[in-house]
Amino acid sequence: IRKNIWKKGGYWSTSKAFSLAKSLSIGNSQSFFVKQINKKTLE
């Protein structure tokens, strides 16, 4: 029973960490994209 609980907890924390990293990478790419657009409009 304990192993099962640990597996569930490990899976939950892994999926949460993955989603966090995903949102971070998406946010970073978006901000980079915005910076590129701003540079073009300024020139």
d(CA 24, CA 10): 21
Q: Go through 7-43 and write b for each residue having 16 or more CB atoms within 10 A of its CB, e for each that does not.
A: eeeeeeeeeeeeeeeeeeeeeeeeeeeeeeeeeeeee
Q: Which pLDDT belongs to residue 41? A: 75
Q: Which pLDDT belongs to residue 5? A: 65
For 1-37, the pLDDT digits (tens) are 567 766 777 777 888 888 888 877 777 767 767 777 6
Q: Quote the pTM value.
A: 0.41
Q: Which pLDDT belongs to residue 1? A: 58
Q: Which pLDDT belongs to residue 14? A: 80
Output 43 or 33, whichever has higher pLDDT. Answer: 33
